[in-house]
Structure 1
Amino acid sequence: MTSSSGAGVRGVGKRFGEVRALSDVTLDFPAGQVTALMGENGAGKSTLLKILTGDHQPTEGTVLLDGSELALQSPARARAAGIRIIPQEPEIIPHVSVAENVYAGALPRKAGRRLDRAELRRRIQADLERLGFSRVLDPDLLGSELTPAQRQLVEILRALTGEAKVIAFDEPTSSLSEHEVDALFALIRRLREQGVAVIYVSHRMKEIFQLADRIAVLRDGALAGVLDAAQASEGDLVRLMVGRDLSDMFVRQNVSTDRVVLDVRELTTDKVSDITLQVRAGEVVGLAGLIGAGRSELALALAGDLPVHSGTVTLDGKKLRSGRPGEVIRAGLGLAPEERKAQALFLQRSIRDNIALVVLERLRRSRFVKRAAEKELAQEYVRRLRVRTPSIEHEVRKLSGGNQQKVVLARWLARRPKVLILDEPTRGIDVGAKAEIYQIIADLAKEGVALLVISSELPEVLGLADRVVVMQNGRITGELDRSEATEERILSLAMADDLSEENRSAA
């Protein structure tokens, strides 16, 4: 590999009218290395990728491939040159098979121009074996039958047909299982060994440090710095991305009271057993545990979405009945679920529609919704939560992950809940948006809302919570006050059964 192999940009800038999206960015993507591209939403990552793949033309500057300047007037030109991008939102043809989706535009044909199905099957089977996806993807499935994870894998396969010199992955693991993530990471490492220049965009720090050789950070459209991944820390990245330390992002103040708002006694469902916990007004209780511990299932049961076999849930003195989410909402409990796109948002509808959803009865006059009041309500919470959008009529699907999460929170704030359960409230959003979500949580606690926050990020749990409740295998294994909670103590409680079993085996 020579110093000129791979891709890069020199002095690249991009304007959209009066808005400058990129400013004088000079950056290399060396062959045989994984370069992570990080930055807040709006930092310029997507614009830079679109310039590399021919979707946008730079206002100034040049794109290089193997040391030579490229004029990429279209995505087809970029693809022909060997530059590929795997987008965050896959584009799948619903009525044709996986194999036909992968080779769309380059399907093998017989002499009569009919599809050569035997050759198509040979190609797809060979590619599935070569890339390690043969056990997770059926080539005969229709596009309409694919799960979100399978759709992502089809997009990856499509990008890897033909000779690729540069491949950009844009948040590729957002819908993948642990097994599929392992297969993807093994593939990326093989691509690196084969001399491909890999660009990896993700908000997930753990993934970045697992995969990347170097980390480039964009801030406000400019290159903030490039770090050696082996030498960098999470703190270094956060400082480059937002200009301040991670610890500065948490707003901690003791505003909890003695008034118990949520009182759960010996709650048992199909997924959790004998759960007893309390949350007080103004208190933030962190719910920690490993994947599969039962935290999300507990949240759904409290919200009335999963049946309860025994035990009681009392909200501000009123016992709630199992399986009645409408009654739970009216009593004052809201849930912002982990899968906001699938479980919380109407992606094709406007911000206004999404915010007003749970307060329509308050906005009705007779049988009609007062549109002026609905509009005023949506505008109030868009301002209050600083949702970045051109208009409240903007479709939610077009917002960034952080702004989508703010719309979910705005909905519940408009409902004025007594208890709010937040399940992985910052998953998939950038560091700057996280800081804003943390401020919203602090403001809600100050207003007397009882908050139950589920998070798999231990620094987040420690930074936000007044108390930490830890679960494993559907049960609570311990509780820690803020003053005694550490990552080590939380993990010890999260693995309590495994550790005691290990001790028994050792004995």
Structure 2
Amino acid sequence: MPDPHQDDQPVIRFENIVKRFGGAEALSKANLTIRRGSVHGLVGQNGAGKSTLIKLLAGLHHADEGRIAIDGVTQDRLTPHLAEALGIHFIHQDRLLTPSFTVGEALFLGREPRLAGTPFLDRRAMRRQAAETLQRYFGLDLPQGALIADLSAAEKQIVQITRALIANPKVLVFDEPTAALVRREADLLFRLIRRLSAEGITVLYISHYLGEIVDLCDTVTVLRNGRDVATLAVKDTSAAEIGALMVNRDIADLYPKPVVTPGEVLVDVSQLTLAGRYDDVSFTLRRGEVLGMTGLVGSGAKEVIRTLFGLETPTGGTIAVNGKTLAATSPARAASRRLALVPEDRRRDGVALPLSVLENTTLASLKRFSRGLIDRRAERSATEDLVRRLQIKTNGIDALVGTLSGGNQQKVAIAKWLSRQSEIYLLDEPTVGVDIGAKVEIYRLIGELAERGAGVIVLSSDIEELRGITDRLLVFFRGRIAREVRTADSTSEQILADVTGARESLRHAG
């Protein structure tokens, strides 16, 4: 007779887990209990131990002390193959799909169905299983001959999830799944996760976005310094309380914004147009001002940022910097006029991961340190000063940037332009994919830039972030500025209505 309490038993239990790397403890008596069929959130700052726990569950690391049990059975030596055999599958932030594979090859890699009694692939069965799963959960048909390299971020994630669903998983682990998704794609993912949970699949959800945790999860475990400091029912807590536990302090001052009186105009944009992207965009940016921009993907806001830095060539209008028209724009010319761009994809465009902190920091300002030969002493001194000012957590300025956390990589990307002594900063989604502690440090840095007299433009899809750190806000909709507001006079609901076109719809309806 089946155990009537079986469904109450945890599907995954970590007890008093210790994991050391060299002399450092990544996990120190950490615990995690995940109930069957639940959506369980796992949060913590970078370095709190989340990645180490997940790698233990995947069999990529082995605990030095403690016990891991799956469905009540202790697993002394988990391996990736055993974890998958136990029904545990992982949807990774970096997708981890082979770019040269087709969709069909990626879906069935390592478990290809064969024609009975032959070594040949049963391609008909592969197409049928893939099509059924894609239709059932996503309502779409991905061409199985398409290359992974040609898919969007959302489509790559769909391939990962479909691959797991074909294997009838018990547990799905989502590791920062919305980092590369736009809002509409993220909403589709959330609906899927709720459906999977309703069908009895257990979900472990790791995210820096606390709003997602509150909206999606049943339970959340907070890690700090390698320990679990709380496991809470989400209905009984809030994003602010979870964030306070993560950083071990009150985050009422999450947005540390200094009071700065804006000075003279640094940037004057007049009737800027890029055919098919945006039209008749006009605004100013003053010294000491933090100007926000937001809008849906395709609204034109990102293209305006790219145009300001010379990555797009406008088809009309003008850009003036310090009163002088910026003609024949290019990144080199923009940088020479003391503009700086910190791009959204820092790992691809913002920093050079194989280079050191020092090399990245001075990459755009080598002329400062050159007297025919590079003055290495001055270069190191300037880099060390910026590392201290920005509180970049690193083993030293010779450490590779690829070894740093996301938040610290972002600060190195900013340090590069501080070293060049820029005065106009274009920040494209500056806190995407970083933890709440690093976000506060980046907000503080933005405030310091404004205090020093720089002008800062922040493009972000996080409305609360923009309300917390900007002076004015430009809302883009379908290639135009739909509204310009003083941030202090706005509400999140009003901004969201402008971003989504709800006000425009109501105006036309009336």
TM-score by length of 2: 0.90
Residue among 4, 26, 34 paired with 2:39: 34
Residue among 290, 295, 301 paired with 2:301: 295
> Where in structure 2 are there 5+ consecutive unaligned residues?
1-5
Residues 1:158 and 1:490: Cα distance change in structure 2 (over 3 Å):
closer
Deviations 1:250-298 (A, max 9, x none): 2222233422212222322223333222222222222244444322121
TM-superposed deviation, 1:102: 2.4
The yes-or-no answer on 1:74 pairing with 2:79 is yes
The yes-or-no answer on 1:11 pairing with 2:2 is no
Deviations 1:135-171 (A, max 9, x none): 3x32222344444433333332333343422221101
Deviations 1:49-95 (A, max 9, x none): 11222222222221122223222332222222222222222322344
Superposition map of 1:373-388 within 5 A: 374-388=379-393
1:444 aligns to what?
449
Matched-pair contact (CA < 8 Å) for 1:424–1:453: yes
Please identify, of 56-65 and 333-342, the stretch whose mean Cα deviation from structure 2 is larger: 333-342
Distance across 2 between alignment mates of 1:333 and 1:143: 36
Deviations 1:421-449 (A, max 9, x none): 11221112110000110111112112111
Distance across 2 between alignment mates of 1:150 and 1:34: 23
Q: Secondary structure of the residue that 1:448 maps to in structure 2?
A: coil
2:89 aligns to what?
84
Matched-pair contact (CA < 8 Å) for 1:289–1:491: no
Residues 1:138 and 1:377: Cα distance change in structure 2 (over 3 Å):
farther
Distance across 1 between alignment mates of 2:265 and 2:367: 28
1:502 aligns to what?
506
TM-superposed deviation, 1:32: 0.9
1:239 aligns to what?
244
The yes-or-no answer on 1:132 pairing with 2:116 is no
The yes-or-no answer on 1:471 pairing with 2:471 is no
* Paired amino acid for 1:360: L
The yes-or-no answer on 1:318 pairing with 2:324 is yes
The percent of aligned pairs where both chains have the same amino acid is 38
Please identify, of 440-449 and 188-197, the stretch whose mean Cα deviation from structure 2 is larger: 188-197
The yes-or-no answer on 1:412 pairing with 2:446 is no
Superposition map of 1:16-165 within 5 A: 16-110=21-115, 111-132=117-138, 134-135=140-141, 137-165=142-170
Matched-pair contact (CA < 8 Å) for 2:311–2:331: yes
TM-superposed deviation, 1:364: 4.0
Deviations 1:342-385 (A, max 9, x none): 4333344444443333223334454x655565555444433332
Superposition map of 1:481-500 within 5 A: 481-491=486-496, 493-494=498-499, 498-500=502-504
Matched-pair contact (CA < 8 Å) for 1:256–1:280: no
Matched-pair contact (CA < 8 Å) for 1:7–1:166: no
2:434 aligns to what?
429
Distance across 1 between alignment mates of 2:110 and 2:370: 51
Residues 1:182 and 1:447: Cα distance change in structure 2 (over 3 Å):
closer
Matched-pair contact (CA < 8 Å) for 1:72–1:78: no
Deviations 1:444-470 (A, max 9, x none): 112111111222222222221233333
Residue among 264, 279, 287 paired with 2:285: 279
TM-superposed deviation, 1:416: 0.9
Residues 1:79 and 1:501: Cα distance change in structure 2 (over 3 Å):
closer
Alignment RMSD: 2.6
Deviations 1:369-428 (A, max 9, x none): 555655554444333323233344544444332122112111111111121111221112
* Paired amino acid for 2:445: I
* Paired amino acid for 1:77: L
The yes-or-no answer on 1:461 pairing with 2:466 is yes
> Where in structure 1 are there 5+ consecutive unaligned residues?
none
TM-superposed deviation, 1:494: 4.3
2:314 aligns to what?
308
Distance across 1 between alignment mates of 2:444 and 2:389: 11
